[in-house]
Amino acid sequence: MSRASSLLRWMIPLAVVPVLALLAYGFRTDPREIPSPLVGKPASLFTLTAFDGTPVALASLRGRVVVVNFWASWCYPACYEEAPSLERAWKAYKDRGLVMVGVNYQDKDEPARRFLSQFGHSFPNAPDQGSRVSVDYGVYGVPETYFIDRKGRVRFKQVGPVSDQLLKEQIERLLAEAA
Amino acid sequence: MRRVALFLVVALVLGLGAFPLGPAIAQSPAPSAQAPGAPLKPAPVAPPAGAQAVSEDTVHDVAAQLRCVVCQSLSVADSPSEIAHQMKDIIRERLAAGETPEQVRAYFVEKYGTWILLAPPRQGFNLLVWVVPFVAIGLGLVLVFVVLRRWSRRPASTAPAPTLDPAMRARIRREISEGER
Amino acid sequence: MTPELGYAATVAALVLAVYGSGAAALSAVKGRPDLRRSSERAAVGVWLLVMTCMALLIYAFLTFDFSVRYVAANTNLGTPFYYRITAVWGALEGSIILWAFMLSIYTLIVVARYRRTQPQLYPWVLAVMLGISAFFLLVMTIPAPPFERLSPVPADGRGLNPLLEDSGMITHPVALYLGFTGFTVPFAFAMAALIIGRIGDEWITITRRWTIVAWYFLSLGLLIGGWWSYHVLGWGGYWAWDPVENAAFMPWLTGTAFLHSVMIQERRRMLKLWNLTLIILTFSLTLFGTFLTRSGIIGSVHAFSQGSVGQFFLAFLALVGLGAFSLLAWRVERLGAQGELDSIVSRESAFLLNNLFLVAAAFTVFFGTVFPLLAEAITGTKVSVGAPFFNLVNIPIFLALLFLMGVGPLIAWRRASAENLRRNFLTPVGIGVVAAAACRLLGIGNAVVLLCLGLVAFVAATIGLDFARAARARRRTGDGWLDATWGLALRQNRRYGGFVVHLGILVLAVGVAGSQAWSTQTEVTLNRGEATEVAGYTIRFEGLAGVEESNHAKVVGTFAVSDKHGPYTVLTPAKKFYPQEQTPIAAVDYRLGVLEDLYLVLGEFARDGSHATIKVQVNRMVSWLWMGGFVLTLGAALAILPEPRRKPAVARAGQPATA
């Protein structure tokens, strides 16, 4: 057999290698984590009515750092894990220019209110009827949290629960910036 | 002749099987944007008062190109989930407000990224996925043609007569007498 | 007690499998029949131990033994008893046991059938099969142990995924896995043939029935999966090009190609290299499929994975792929094709084209499934590849395959003369065109559907024509009608079994085309007592009721349906609320019909039952899919019948003996 075809035949098993490499690469990615195209862009304005009846409009919050957290009462255990952290961060930074807004995603009134009273959230929370705001923010699951700077741009999106550490880092970073 | 008639009947029966469905069929759009088996034509819905009339078909078409975010692989048009329902409402609203289907799609891509489209746009690197299968088929056809040509050029006489072992001989005898084609 | 016993059995089985594989291989190399017998005993031991594992697991499920983590995760005190049994294979660990169990049974069958008849191939076949079993047992031992203890023992389990509480759950995984594991046997024979260098046609002749059976079960598994998707998931469709559906579809495609191209090797001694490649591909794709479901690298409704299982599977996939193809490369010079044709227009070309299109379809599905990974690796952005892509590429391919299905069985080997073409195809082509025209006249406007229906008529005509001609020829030589038709089918059961399978595919094709083009859906909100009209049905909302079941609560809506003939049926779609699930599960209600199904999904409703929203679908021709599956079953059964015993030639008075 000629040398060329003798070497050529080993191309057959070698052809398998790039496929295996690609599949191995797959272990490093998470199919559920989709990077948001909104980071760096102006945050979509919204007007919602909170559970207690007060209006919440993003436009009126320009100049302050806004944290928008999407949650649901059926989102167990993640939303339940992060809820205390959110309340803590709110209490710590509200006098320094932070506004925290909770948006209730795909939920029912009663269970949502129960969730709120369970954690005693003192920052405004509003239901998102029809999910217009959620789609406007590209929400595909809960919990998701958006960090908006003083100029009204989305600076960071967290998919999954937020920790005290993460909240502290992001909020302080954004608070330090000028309006 | 009788035979031909019999098979005409068979074929017509198959064709006529469509008959009861005939009256129910209007213009059926090409199934390209649908998952197989998914209901295709929504029945008409009256548009909300004061808005531009939006055909449910158009809503359905746009929805069929978007991926439902909570299911895997289902389009917004097919998905029974609540969020898909609401996304369809958003599509309907935007179309009624005068946006074109492309603009509605672009809106979703702006919010979610290219991932929201059920098939990647035909540009840049993503062009590859659309092109490669057809190129592969083309190459395959060429290969098959080349192989067939090679086989049909080889004269039968140069191949040495294969020696038959008794088992094969018996098998040949059996197959011939069984009249297998 | 149970977890420890089960774990011990697993480890023992693993050790036996490794030993048996080595002993079988060694016995072949050194020619030692004692080692061979020892490895056979090991195979029996593996089977017994795996069966023990299954029995222990079933026992744990039936007795609510929540000290076993797997039991606690997949069942609770309310789970009905039959679902507790099927829950055994409802999640990752159990599915591996099921695979290992089937593999052990197949290994035993191989032992029983071939230990005396194939002395040279058989030890290597045994070695390969035990080696593959060892891998699955390894997975059961390390990354996915079904008998892991849970401590502290919870009072109640989590419960089975409600979508799996369905009859499809009993049959779909079993059929699918019988198909997947079934392809192990031809693969093992191919490996054995490559190892000992006897790559003639024997391994194909021996494994012919295995291939058909495996192919059949894979087809059945896919169809049941479609049925399950259709009647459980609530979207009214049966195939979503979900990555894991694709993963089961790819080996089916290459398996079908293999099924056909081995006929060329049998008849014409050609395509040896290609057939070996195909079986390696098919087996690798079955592994790839299980890898995909268990690695989490591509999100899917089916994915049930955790931990390092994916890495184990990838490593094994690498071993099999590299190993098998290296064996092939090593032996490649013995696989010279002795192809001889007189013309490009011949049955060989039809088969080659059949293979090309099937493999192209498999490649397309593969490429589309992994493309998101590739795109992310190269461009960093995530994209989705779904139905629009797969349909665009695959529909033309399947139409081409339909056409070939009509041409292939009738066109002549080596060279199809003009006479042969005219005789066999003129009428069917005419019938196809007439059928398409008739459909057009009946109002079907969609070009793809027209083409599909025309092709279906064409193929049906070719089959009918061939059968009628052969039956008539028999009649002429004195057979009665029954013997001419029925006897013909039984006598040449391979050929006519294949025809019946093709007929089944035709029925399926009509179902797919019809359901694609002619189904409608609408959504409507009704007040109690109010009725609406959809596609000839009048649907009236009667009311809601709350019901408590053993492991869930549900709200059932009652809808009275009547058509123009009067009252038709009462449908009760429901929404089921499982405590362990975050969102309610829709329970669809439907009435199946030959031509159309009425399908109702309950959406939003008022708590007091004053109004409810329903999605109404009229899905047409979907039943043809299941009917096609039934015909497929008959065809496959016919095809694997044992060869008819040669009757002693009986000379009829004045007629030459006909066999």
At A112-130, the pLDDT tens digits run 999 999 999 999 999 998 8
Q: Give the SS3 label for residue C586.
A: strand
Which residue type sits at B159? A
CB contact under 8 A, A13 and C321: yes
Taking the C-alpha atoms of residue C396 and residue C613, their distance in angstroms, rounded to an integer, is 38
CB contact under 8 A, B151 and C341: yes
Please compute the mean of the pLDDT values over residues B62-82 and round it to a whole number. 87
How do the domains of chain C map onto residue ranges? 1-165, 167-342, 418-517+625-639, 520-621
Q: Give the SS3 label for residue C515.
A: helix
Q: Tens digits of per-residue pLDDT, C414-441?
A: 888 888 888 888 899 999 999 999 988 9
Task: Flag whether pLDDT at A155 surpasses 90.
Answer: yes
Question: Per CATH, is C1-165 categorized as 3.30.420?
Answer: no
Q: Which is higher by pLDDT, C513 or B20?
A: C513
Q: Tens digits of per-residue pLDDT, C96-106?
A: 999 999 999 99
Taking the C-alpha atoms of residue C243 and residue C493, their distance in angstroms, rounded to an integer, is 36
Per the CB < 8 A criterion, the answer to whether B85 and B74 are in contact is no
pLDDT at B40: 43
Taking the C-alpha atoms of residue C291 and residue C286, their distance in angstroms, rounded to an integer, is 9
Q: Is B110 on the interface with A (CB under 8 A)?
A: yes
Helix, strand, coil percentages in chain B from 3-state DSSP, rounded to 5: 60, 5, 35
Q: How confident is the model at residue A134 (pLDDT cuts 50, 70, 90)?
A: very high
Please compute the mean of the pLDDT values over residues C186-213 and round it to a whole number. 90
* C-alpha closest to that of A125 among A39, A74, A54: A54
User: Domain spanning C520-621: which CATH class is it, in words?
Assistant: mainly beta
> b/e map of A55-76 (b: 16 or more CB within 10 Å)?
ebebeebeebbbbbbbbbbbbe
Please compute the mean of the pLDDT values over residues C18-43 and round it to a whole number. 92
Taking the C-alpha atoms of residue C254 and residue C477, their distance in angstroms, rounded to an integer, is 41
CB contact under 8 A, C370 and A23: yes
CA C634 to mean position of chain CA atoms: 16
- Per cent of chain C over pLDDT 70 is 95
Find the angle CA(C78)-CA(C80)-CA(C86) to the nearest 5 degrees.
120
Task: Flag whether pLDDT at C210 surpasses 60.
Answer: yes
pLDDT at B179: 61
pLDDT at C627: 94
Find the angle CA(C186)-CA(C189)-CA(C193) to the nearest 5 degrees.
140
- Per cent of chain C over pLDDT 90 is 45
pLDDT at C648: 55
Which residue type sits at B43? A
Taking the C-alpha atoms of residue B108 and residue B62, their distance in angstroms, rounded to an integer, is 11
CB contact under 8 A, C386 and B150: no
Find the angle CA(C393)-CA(C399)-CA(C405) to the nearest 5 degrees.
135
Please compute the mean of the pLDDT values over residues C207-222 and round it to a whole number. 93
Taking the C-alpha atoms of residue C467 and residue C475, their distance in angstroms, rounded to an integer, is 12
Residue A74: closest C-alpha in chain C: C582
Residue A141: closest C-alpha in chain B: B70
Which of these ranges, C50-54, C123-127, C142-146, C331-335, has the smallest mean pLDDT?
A: C331-335
Residue B112: closest C-alpha in chain A: A138
Taking the C-alpha atoms of residue C100 and residue C112, their distance in angstroms, rounded to an integer, is 18
Residues with Cβ within 8 Å of residue C219, at least 6 apart in sequence: C179, C252, C629, C632, C636
The number of beta carbons lying within 10 Å of the beta carbon of residue B5 is 9
Q: Which domains does chain A have, with CATH numbers?
A: 34-175 (3.40.30.10)
| DSSP β-ladder status, B41-42 and C520-527 | parallel
- Across A71-80, C130-139, C404-413, C511-520, the highest mean pLDDT is recorded for C130-139
Record the tokens describing residue C390, joined without a space: 């797969």
User: Domain spanning B31-119: which CATH class is it, in words?
Assistant: mainly alpha
Mean pLDDT of chain C: 87
Identify all chain B residues contacting A137, using CB atoms and an 8 Å cutoff: 111
Taking the C-alpha atoms of residue C638 and residue C489, their distance in angstroms, rounded to an integer, is 8
Taking the C-alpha atoms of residue C326 and residue B12, their distance in angstroms, rounded to an integer, is 53
Q: How many CA atoms lie within 13 A of C575 on its CB side?
A: 20
CB contact under 8 A, C299 and A31: yes
pLDDT at B13: 41
Q: Is B115 on the interface with A (CB under 8 A)?
A: yes
Per the CB < 8 A criterion, the answer to whether C344 and B77 are in contact is no
Taking the C-alpha atoms of residue C122 and residue C28, their distance in angstroms, rounded to an integer, is 9
Q: Is A20 on the interface with C (CB under 8 A)?
A: yes
Q: How confident is the model at residue C412 (pLDDT cuts 50, 70, 90)?
A: confident
Per the CB < 8 A criterion, the answer to whether A92 and A59 are in contact is no
Task: Flag whether pLDDT at B19 surpasses 70.
Answer: no
| HEC readout, C13-50 | HHHHHHHHHHHHHHHHHHCCHHHHHHHHHHHHHHHHHH
Taking the C-alpha atoms of residue C348 and residue C337, their distance in angstroms, rounded to an integer, is 13
Q: How confident is the model at residue B51 (pLDDT cuts 50, 70, 90)?
A: low
Task: Flag whether pLDDT at C316 surpasses 60.
Answer: yes
CA dihedral C485, C486, C492, C494 (to 10 degrees): 120
Record the tokens describing residue C410, joined without a space: 């009738």
Identify all chain A residues contacting B48, using CB atoms and an 8 Å cutoff: none
Q: Is A7 on the interface with C (CB under 8 A)?
A: no
- Comparing CB atoms, the residue among C238, C340, C446 nearest residue B151 is C340
CB contact under 8 A, C234 and B80: yes
Provide the sign of the torsion angle of the four alpha carbons A22, A27, A33, A37, taken in this order. negative
- Comparing CB atoms, the residue among B69, B86, B115 nearest residue A130 is B86
Nearest chain A Cα distance for residue B28, angstroms:
31
The number of beta carbons lying within 10 Å of the beta carbon of residue C574 is 23
Record the tokens describing residue C228, joined without a space: 């399950």
pTM over the 0.90 mark: no
Residue A35: closest C-alpha in chain B: B113
Q: Tens digits of per-residue pLDDT, C604-632?
A: 888 888 888 888 999 999 999 999 999 99
The number of beta carbons lying within 10 Å of the beta carbon of residue C481 is 11
* C-alpha closest to that of C92 among C312, C318, C313, C303: C303
CA distance between the termini of chain A: 76
* C-alpha closest to that of B3 among C421, C412, C484, C462: C462
Residues of chain B numbered 67-86 and touching chain A (CB < 8 Å)? 69-70, 82-83, 86
CB contact under 8 A, A37 and B70: no
Taking the C-alpha atoms of residue C646 and residue C659, their distance in angstroms, rounded to an integer, is 7
Find the angle CA(C654)-CA(C656)-CA(C657) to the nearest 5 degrees.
120
Provide the sign of the torsion angle of the four alpha carbons C522, C528, C530, C533, taken in this order. positive
Record the tokens describing residue C381, joined without a space: 């952005």
Please compute the mean of the pLDDT values over residues A8-27 and round it to a whole number. 87
For B2-61, the DSSP string reads HHHHHHHHHHHHHHHTTGGGGGG--PPPPGGGS-TT---EEPP-PPPTTSPP--HHHHHH
Identify all chain B residues contacting A34, using CB atoms and an 8 Å cutoff: 112-113, 115
Residues with Cβ within 8 Å of residue A42, at least 6 apart in sequence: A152, A153, A154
CB contact under 8 A, C516 and B34: yes
Q: Which one-letter DSSP state was computed for residue A128? A: -
Burial class (CB in 10 A: 0-12, 13-18, 19+), C280: buried
The number of beta carbons lying within 10 Å of the beta carbon of residue C485 is 19
CB contact under 8 A, B137 and C517: no
> b/e map of A81-98 (b: 16 or more CB within 10 Å)?
ebbebbbebbeebeeebb
The number of beta carbons lying within 10 Å of the beta carbon of residue A44 is 19
pLDDT at B20: 32
Q: How confident is the model at residue B161 (pLDDT cuts 50, 70, 90)?
A: low
Identify all chain C residues contacting B133, using CB atoms and an 8 Å cutoff: 360, 363-364, 367-368, 393
- Per cent of chain B over pLDDT 90 is 33
Residue A131: closest C-alpha in chain B: B86
- Comparing CB atoms, the residue among C333, C370, C582 nearest residue A1 is C333
| DSSP β-ladder status, C553-563 and C537-548 | antiparallel
CB contact under 8 A, B111 and A136: yes
Q: Is A97 on the interface with B (CB under 8 A)?
A: no
Q: Give the SS3 label for residue C627.
A: helix
Task: Flag whether pLDDT at B25 surpasses 80.
Answer: no
